[in-house]
Chain A
Amino acid sequence: MISSLNISVEAGEILAVVGASGSGKSLLAHAILGILPSNAKVSGTIKFNGEILTSARQEALRGREIALVPQSVNYLDPLMRVGKQVRTSVKKGNEAKAQREVFERYRLKSDVDKMYPFQLSGGMARRTLLSTAMVSGARVIIADEPTPGLDPAVINEALNHFRDVADNGNAVMLITHDIESALKIADKIAVLYAGSTVEVAPANNFTGNGEKLRHPYSKGLWRALPQNEFIPIPGSQPHPSTLPSGCLFEPRCVKATLECTKAQPVMRELRNGIVRCIHAT
């Protein structure tokens, strides 16, 4: 179950989504596209250009207006040549030309076109996955961890590409563990905890010791980075089946009070961002 999403991505923007492994980042991406398994329950709102997405609209939009860069190589059809998988993602214009150009941009040799997924290295497969979204001409790109295993030059190429896409009036949602690279290009950062969004903050709030951040979890996550204090938050994220009834972060929160255990805090606006914490200032 994904609860209390409250996510909106505007044209011209890059929204980075961060959060611990298992916090539901991939599920969030799948929820936006409407490709969650049928037994999944989603609550909250997902907005596309300010409008709420219904499942009928999702079906009409995916692949055309909203494109996904999936997290792993398993998302490529094992029996189809990768060039073809990229070409079938092209929705308008010349398929072969678009595929050649994007391969060139990501430094994939022309013979990669004829390869099967099992013949690709991890990095080549990731660049292929990126290519499928880039050729789609979609106005929203959701990239689920697109960069691990790539060398720095290609990471920069991909990040710049995302920035270009956003600057051309599109929206990008970048799901990542790598807060540092995300900060280079993102406008806003959403922090996920145990399946719900706890804070959405402008990227420039992630500085110093996290004084400008609103939620105790975001601050903790920021301080836990190696380049900052490198102090992990004690305890671990609750399992989706045993969520606390009050604030989901309450068992690990140093600022917790009795009031925090009563109900899940609602999302509220605070200093040009939004936060789900009753004590945030």
Chain B
Amino acid sequence: MTKVDKNFYIKLGKFFLLKSFRIATLLFAICIISFLLIKNSPIDPIQAYIGADMLTVGPEQRERIAEYWGLNLPVMVQFWNWLSALLTGDLGTSMIYRSPVSEIISERFIHSLVLMIAAWLLSGIFGFAMGVIAAMKKDTWIDKIIVWYCYTLASTPTFWVGLLMLIIFAVWLGWFPIGLSVPVGSLAEDVSIADRLRHLILPAVTLSIVGVANVALHTRQKMIDVLASDYVLFAKARGERGFVLFWRHGLRNIALPAVTLQFAAFSELFGGAVLAEQVFSYPGLGQATVEAGLRGDVPLLLGLVIFSTIFIFAGNLIADLIYYVVDPRTREGWRI
């Protein structure tokens, strides 16, 4: 039974208070910046709204649409209107999908989440294992191959790997479908879980192939440090070796940093997903972001910016929290 001091809960409370303040100020800053950026960009929201019907719409109608969306008001007033709507939970309506932004985001997010979780787990597990193996076999050919792989992959663009995977596994070998999250032309209720999985594998593997580099290199370095530490030397002096040594002293000391790193890597995961989804025509958040950007869907773009900020912040928060709660040096640190 772990004794936890009540000081710990006070500290934890302060921690959350500080973090809430952080996210509030961060979101506010992000809102202002992205709003101003978009307002000053060449995007014409009316054209985005009307799309291909542009030619049939006269100047009067344009004027009425602008008035309807409040586009003639001063920028700060527009910002204020948008922000107050935002605070009541209304993210506005997407111009290209013609439905509420919150609905689009939540629907797309489910798709992306499955993809990201799969990629996150795969890259975490394989990256960790690769790092451990490289460190245990330091300076052998296995180590050299792993390190070479990681450095090469770290500098390879995700979309390029994605294209390569598509060409090899979908086009040449035909093992996997070329895109989308469900078979083309089938009704939603006819789609089986197996189908969804088949569509998920290529993008998830692509994301993981690129994603292992960071965890693997980090874990390798950490493991090398641990193996050179005095406590591993002493464990050897007590007759421990091989797997027992790794299990008792290695894993314990490298697992925490690795898990933390994985949570902190949410931002890369999100960035990777945007590219991978585009390549594989996977209808997730990433694809929606590209669409919104290209076609000038301002409300959707702003909603996505806010959502991704929260998502990445959550990853970092979890990372911090794990260190705070799991590491005994912080958990039980106030007892003496």
Bound Cα distance A21, B240 (Å) = 29
Q: Is the interface of A mostly helix, strand, loop or mixed?
A: loop
Most buried by A among B238, B241, B327: B238
Q: A80-B252, A88-B248, A116-B328 are in contact. Are A75 and B231 (CB under 8 A)?
A: yes
Residues of chain A within 8 A of B333, CB atoms compared: 118
> Per-residue CB proximity of A115-151 to B under 8 Å, as 1/0?
0101100000000000010001000000000000000
Q: Does B335 contact A (CB under 8 A)?
A: yes
Q: A59-B241, A116-B328 are in contact. Are A35 and B236 (CB under 8 A)?
A: yes
Q: Which of B205-238 contact A (CB under 8 A)?
A: 229-231, 233-238
Q: Does B249 contact A (CB under 8 A)?
A: yes
Bound Cα distance A74, B225 (Å) = 13
Report the interface size for chain B: residues with CB under 8 A from the other chain: 25
Residues of chain B within 8 A of A63, CB atoms compared: 237-240
* Least CB distance, A182 to chain B, in whole angstroms: 22
Q: A79-B252, A116-B332, A119-B335 are in contact. Are A74 and B231 (CB under 8 A)?
A: yes
> Per-residue CB proximity of A52-65 to B under 8 Å, as 1/0?
00000001001110
Q: Does B98 contact A (CB under 8 A)?
A: no
Whether A70 lies near B230 (C-beta < 8 A) is yes
> Per-residue CB proximity of B225-268 to A under 8 Å, as 1/0?
00001110111111111000000110011001000000000000
Q: Does A68 contact B (CB under 8 A)?
A: yes
> Per-residue CB proximity of B324-336 to A under 8 Å, as 1/0?
0001110011011
Residues of chain A within 8 A of B249, CB atoms compared: 77, 80
Whether A62 lies near B253 (C-beta < 8 A) is no
Report the interface size for chain A: residues with CB under 8 A from the other chain: 27
* Least CB distance, A123 to chain B, in whole angstroms: 14
Whether A136 lies near B238 (C-beta < 8 A) is yes
Residues of chain A within 8 A of B256, CB atoms compared: 79
Q: Does A78 contact B (CB under 8 A)?
A: yes
* Least CB distance, B224 to chain A, in whole angstroms: 13
Residues of chain B within 8 A of A132, CB atoms compared: 238
Residues of chain B within 8 A of A59, CB atoms compared: 241
Residues of chain B within 8 A of A62, CB atoms compared: 236-239
* Least CB distance, A55 to chain B, in whole angstroms: 12
> Per-residue CB proximity of B293-336 to A under 8 Å, as 1/0?
00000000000000000000000000000000001110011011
* Least CB distance, A170 to chain B, in whole angstroms: 17
Q: A33-B237, A59-B241 are in contact. Are A116 and B231 (CB under 8 A)?
A: no
Residues of chain B within 8 A of A72, CB atoms compared: 230
Most buried by B among A68, A78, A118: A78
Residues of chain B within 8 A of A28, CB atoms compared: none
Whether A78 lies near B231 (C-beta < 8 A) is yes
Q: Which of A88-111 contact B (CB under 8 A)?
A: 88-89, 91
* Least CB distance, A124 to chain B, in whole angstroms: 11
Q: Which of A249-281 contact B (CB under 8 A)?
A: none
Whether B234 lies near A68 (C-beta < 8 A) is yes
Residues of chain B within 8 A of A80, CB atoms compared: 248-249, 252
Residues of chain A within 8 A of B240, CB atoms compared: 63, 88
Q: List 10 A-B contacts (CB under 8 A).
A: A35-B237, A62-B238, A63-B237, A64-B239, A68-B234, A70-B237, A75-B230, A79-B252, A88-B240, A119-B332
- 4 additional A-B pairs beyond A70-B233, A77-B249, beta carbons within 8 Å, are A33-B236, A35-B236, A79-B252, A79-B253
**7 nearest A-B residue pairs (beta carbon):** A63-B239, A75-B234, A63-B238, A68-B237, A74-B230, A77-B231, A75-B230
Interface residues of A (CB under 8 A from B): 30, 33, 35, 59, 62-64, 67-68, 70, 72, 74-80, 88-89, 91, 114, 116, 118-119, 132, 136
